[in-house]
Amino acid sequence: MTIASLLAIGAIAFAVVRAQGSAPVPTGVPIAGNYTGALRPQIHFSPPEHFMNDPNGMFIDAEGTYHLYYQYNPTDIVAGNQHWGHATSKDLYHWENQQIAIFPDTPEEGIFSGSAVVDVNNTSGFFPNQTNGVVAIYTLNTPQEETQEIAYSTDGGYTFTKYSGNPVISINSTQFRDPKVIWHAPTSKWVMVVSYAQEFTIGIFTSSNLKQWTHASNFTNQGLLGLQYECPNMVTIPMNGTNELMYVLMISINPGAPQGGSITQYFPGSFNGTHFTAVDNAARIADFGKDNYAGQFFYGTPDGQPPIFIAWASNWEYSQVVPTGPLENWRSAMSLPRVNTLANITRTGYDLVSLPYDLSTVYDTQIAKNSSLGNGTLLLDYSTVASGAVYFEANVTGIPTINTTGTLNFTFTSSTTGESLRGGFFFGGDTPFWLDRGKIGGFDNPFFTDKFSTNNIISNGKFQLQGVIDRSIFEVFLDGGIRSAIATFFPEGPLDQLAISAGDLNPGVKVSVNVWGLKSAWAAEANSNGTVTGNSTTAGNSTASRRGIYGKLE
Ligand SMILES: *[C@@H]1O[C@H](CO)[C@@H](O)[C@H](O)[C@H]1NC(C)=O
Ligand SMILES: *[C@@H]1O[C@H](CO)[C@@H](O)[C@H](O)[C@H]1NC(C)=O
Ligand SMILES: *[C@@H]1O[C@H](CO)[C@@H](O)[C@H](O)[C@H]1NC(C)=O
Ligand SMILES: *[C@@H]1O[C@H](CO)[C@@H](O)[C@H](O)[C@H]1NC(C)=O
Ligand SMILES: *[C@@H]1O[C@H](CO)[C@@H](O)[C@H](O)[C@H]1NC(C)=O
Ligand SMILES: *[C@@H]1O[C@H](CO)[C@@H](O)[C@H](O)[C@H]1NC(C)=O
Ligand SMILES: *[C@@H]1O[C@H](CO)[C@@H](O)[C@H](O)[C@H]1NC(C)=O
Ligand SMILES: *[C@@H]1O[C@H](CO)[C@@H](O)[C@H](O)[C@H]1NC(C)=O
Ligand SMILES: *[C@@H]1O[C@H](CO)[C@@H](O)[C@H](O)[C@H]1NC(C)=O
Ligand SMILES: *[C@@H]1O[C@H](CO)[C@@H](O)[C@H](O)[C@H]1NC(C)=O
Ligand SMILES: *[C@@H]1O[C@H](CO)[C@@H](O)[C@H](O)[C@H]1NC(C)=O
Ligand SMILES: *[C@@H]1O[C@H](CO)[C@@H](O)[C@H](O)[C@H]1NC(C)=O
């Protein structure tokens, strides 16, 4: 990247940079986005323009602002020319786009995935006068090598300076990437997990200053291998019902997931400062769909509280060819922010329980309620919900364990095209929950799997179904998040009708249903011609004078 020119337009100074290809990449100001299109998610994060993949650098700062960086090609709608895009949020739904945070220095370079930490104690020496210094740890990709590098930010994570002593880890490999760093207080060390991608190995490195790293151990050939290990995370998660905090190592694999392409597996276990030991050698997968990859946990959420996770809601099998709005020129969304605990529910001993982070800031009005659906159908026209985004839940109680019968289905339909997204539950089956995106017409591809299912989890005669539909992305949570799935879908007409129906229930089984319309988080930010401009205050401002998402000075 060479800075070709420095322009001053009005009060906003920005440099136009010519990167790979010839399209300019703006610095110093966010890229503006049009979030109105029919396929644009309204409560999920998606980039203002162009192509996004893995979430990166996720951390929460001392003021309670969540920072989300992401793999970003600012010049095309396929992967390449990797930068770190950036957005911030107070509630994980209303995101404010920020200027691009980290840029490659030459057309051959890519700033690949990585993480960020707040160096409160100035262990790095970059921050003699502050407790809010941010260090990003990422992979620099070149045709010759993948090395781990660091960059530091004295303005709270908005702009970064690359460390002059880079790289901080170099092993002469082209397949060594995705460092995720946490602080391990018992040993007073930073701990990095990083992937030797094609050797099916997660390396654990430790450091006291983020600059010098020591290899501590390897976690090798565990669980599903696919053809590469990527994007490891190590995190502490509370075990439900106990006071225990367990370590969980999460590893994304791509290609070669059981459903094809990309997916994420997790290993519950323990960590003693140098070695991660899994409770067993089983692979556990938290998602029964195929749009949940490269997820990351926020650094800095309080110890002992359920950590918050965001994944890239796509799959490399089709991420670069799915439809995008003709005028909008963007591709890919993140998953909902999810709160995670572990629980011992199924026979496997450890289940990652994942639920949407508090949706209350995007709730609009309740649009349907039926506390005694019985063998009936709730029909709902939600075309008046401007966002097209809806949350629904159904509770089923009194399910017998013997001679169980009955079904509960939901169908979202487009009144203009007749396309539908459907799913449902067979209470009597061993593999009772199914999801079908095959009746949506806007995208057909041999890898875009239509149908998904998962096994029986009915316990105590109860079943709970929760779902969020958001124009082109659907997330479903079963029995309080014990099972979940993300499914992207690309309709030709907007889905605007919902039917929830139950039938053939055993006597005494009760079904209650609630449906809420959701408010668009992006419309709240758009200017009068519908454009979301993001944070246009100049770089380097203190967070104190930064303009917040609601236009107020924070
Ligand atoms: C935003 O996109 C919509 C739908 O594609 C289009 O109708 C509208 O004109 C666009 N708005 C602007 C400001 O470009
Ligand atoms: C930190 O503060 C000291 C004393 O005020 C000053 O000399 C020094 O330049 C400051 N360092 C940085 C990096 O701001
Ligand atoms: C790095 O690896 C390449 C490819 O394996 C090899 O040709 C080269 O000699 C290595 N360089 C060093 C400095 O070890
Ligand atoms: C910062 O220092 C305090 C006091 O020594 C220590 O308890 C804490 O773990 C340190 N945290 C980080 C992130 O360095
Ligand atoms: C860790 O794994 C990497 C990748 O396979 C290998 O190069 C390295 O030698 C291993 N280190 C140790 C100590 O086993
Ligand atoms: C968590 O534990 C509590 C009490 O032990 C129990 O009521 C609840 O159902 C459990 N939740 C999950 C998801 O296991
Ligand atoms: C951590 O665990 C490894 C593997 O079990 C062991 O070799 C090492 O001694 C342990 N370290 C500490 C500090 O207990
Ligand atoms: C999970 O619960 C079962 C049944 O109560 C028990 O036998 C098993 O030991 C538990 N597993 C763990 C990991 O706590
Ligand atoms: C279950 O169904 C079988 C066969 O119809 C019947 O014989 C049995 O009594 C039923 N059991 C219960 C508990 O309803
Ligand atoms: C739910 O869908 C399944 C699968 O298509 C079907 O067999 C069942 O009859 C449906 N139930 C209701 C109540 O519509
Ligand atoms: C639902 O229908 C079944 C027969 O298919 C019946 O036994 C049951 O009582 C009905 N439930 C309700 C709540 O009407
Ligand atoms: C379902 O159950 C949950 C948890 O008990 C409750 O918070 C929610 O309001 C119930 N929803 C419906 C539709 O009954």
pLDDT confidence of 26, banded at 50, 70, 90?
A: confident
User: Which residues are tagged catalytic?
Assistant: 54, 230
What is the C-alpha to C-alpha distance for residues 175 and 2, in angstroms, rounded to an integer? 27
pLDDT (tens digit, 9 = 90+) per residue, 375-403? 999 999 999 999 999 999 999 999 999 99
Q: How far apart are the first and last CA of the chain?
A: 33
Nearest ligand 1 atom, CA 325: 5
pLDDT (tens digit, 9 = 90+) per residue, 437-458? 999 999 999 999 999 999 877 7
What is the whole-number distance in angstroms between the Cα of residue 403 and the centre of ligand 9? Answer: 6
What 3-state class would DSSP assign to 403? coil
Which residues are paired to 338 by β-bridges?
A: 309, 356
Question: Among residues 264, 252, 250, 263, which one has the least CA distance to residue 315?
Answer: 263
Average pLDDT on 177-198 reads: 98
Between 551 and 421, the more confident residue is 421
DSSP conformational letter for 538: P
pLDDT at 145: 98
pLDDT of 1 strictly over 60: no
AA letter at 385: V
Whether residue 398 has its Cβ less than 6 Å from ligand 11: no
Average pLDDT on 241-253 reads: 93
pLDDT of 16 strictly over 70: no
Report the residue among 355, 512, 516 best suited for mutation to probe ligand 12: largest number of ligand atoms under 8 A from its CB. Answer: 512
pLDDT of 202 strictly over 80: yes
What 3-state class would DSSP assign to 388? coil
Q: What angle do CA 88, 93, 98 make, to 5 degrees?
A: 25
pLDDT (tens digit, 9 = 90+) per residue, 27-53? 899 999 999 999 999 999 999 999 999
- Give me 390's structure tokens: 């809806």
Whether residue 240 has its Cβ less than 6 Å from ligand 6: yes
- Give me 200's structure tokens: 């099916």
Exposure letters 352-379 (e unless 16+ CB within 10 A, then b): bbbbbbebebbebeebbebeebeeeebe
What 3-state class would DSSP assign to 158? coil
Block residue for tokens 């010049």: 75
Whether residue 375 has its Cβ less than 6 Å from ligand 11: yes
Percent above pLDDT 70 for the chain: 92
> Which listed ligand is nearest to 210 at the C-alpha?
4
Conformational region of residue 393, where left means phi above 0, alpha means psi within -120 to 50, and beta covers everything else: beta
Nearest ligand 2 atom, CA 127: 13
pLDDT at 537: 78
pLDDT at 23: 64
- Give me 246's structure tokens: 């367990």
User: Most distant CA pair in the chain: distance in Å?
Assistant: 75
- The overall average pLDDT reported for the chain is 92
Block residue for tokens 């800095």: 300
What is the C-alpha to C-alpha distance for residues 133 and 19, in angstroms, rounded to an integer? 28
pLDDT at 458: 73
CATH pick for 349-525 out of 3.40.1280.10, 2.60.120.560, 2.40.50.250, 2.30.30.60: 2.60.120.560
What is the whole-number distance in angstroms between the Cα of residue 478 and the centre of ligand 6? Answer: 14
pLDDT at 242: 85
pLDDT confidence of 176, banded at 50, 70, 90?
A: very high
Contact at 8 Å (CB) between 419 and 493? yes
CA distances from 267 to 31, 49, 181, 200 (A): 38, 35, 17, 14
Measured from CB, residues less than 6 Å from any atom of ligand 7 are 272-275, 277
What is the C-alpha to C-alpha distance for residues 474 and 460, in angstroms, rounded to an integer? 27
Nearest ligand 8 atom, CA 239: 14
What is the whole-number distance in angstroms between the Cα of residue 36 and the centre of ligand 1? Answer: 7
Question: Would you state the CATH architecture of domain 3-30+47-332?
Answer: 5 Propeller (2.115)
What is the C-alpha to C-alpha distance for residues 340 and 307, in angstroms, rounded to an integer? 6
| Domain regions of the chain by residue span | 3-30+47-332, 349-525
Q: Sheet of 510-518: strands edge to edge?
A: 363-370, 510-518, 389-397, 463-470, 473-478, 483-488
| Helix (DSSP H) and strand (DSSP E) numbers for the chain | 0, 39
